[in-house]
Structure 1
Amino acid sequence: MAYEIPVTRARAELADLINRVVYGGERVVVTRHGKPLVALVPAADLERLEGLEEKEAVVEEQVISSVSSIGSAAPAPASSDRQRFGIAAEHRGQGGSGA
């Protein structure tokens, strides 16, 4: 659990709060009207958080790429299927011939 402190007190105790974070390994949440405003965390925690964000971005790109490749690999409906289902037009992807 993080140590919470109102912003008005945090201003006066900033040096002490920094020491608690750096040397005590604590996390300090600065609040305003009882709501979290900012957090003081060790630099190692910030590095881990940023590393997780980068990994999430890579995974998201991989998912988008996979889904995009599935959509572009779908075969176009045969001419008889278009007539049978009343399809008058079809979407043609970039560089695709459609039928």
Structure 2
Amino acid sequence: MAYEIPVTQARAELAELINRVVYGGERVVVTRHGKPLVALVSAADLERLESLGESAGETVEEPVISSVSRIGGLTSAPGERQRFGIAAEHRGPEVR
């Protein structure tokens, strides 16, 4: 089971979290508003995950890329850019 921590606390304790993952063998899930955002896993765990994907005939990146592509066309809710301090936005390739 993974250790869950809010993103604000993880930011303050990043060095300690890295040590827990590397030396303690823990997996850490960083959350925002109780929802998982990212996971910290050891390099060895990542290699195992990648090899599982390769043995299934796909790379780990393929499902991620297709997921991002599906949501790429969505627009942010009004005010979200300012709320999160986003200063730029991806507009895709220009059509000439």
TM range (shorter): 0.5 to 0.7
Residue 38 of structure 1: aligned partner: 38
Q: Which runs of 5+ in 2 are unaligned?
A: 59-96
TM-score (norm 1): 0.57
Secondary structure in structure 1 of the residue aligned to 2:53: helix
Provide the aligned C-alpha RMSD in A.
1.0
Q: How far did residue 31 of structure 1 move?
A: 0.3
**Larger helix proportion, structure 1 or 2?**
1
Q: Which runs of at least 4 in structure 1 moved beyond 2 Å after TM superposition? A: none
TM-score (norm 2): 0.59
> Could you tell me the percent identity over the aligned residues?
84
- Larger of the two Rg values belongs to structure: 1
In structure 2, C-alpha distance between the alignment counterparts of 1:11 and 1:5, rounded to whole Å = 10
Q: Which runs of 5+ in 1 are unaligned?
A: 59-99
Number of aligned positions between the proteins: 58
One-letter identity of the residue aligned with 1:41:
V
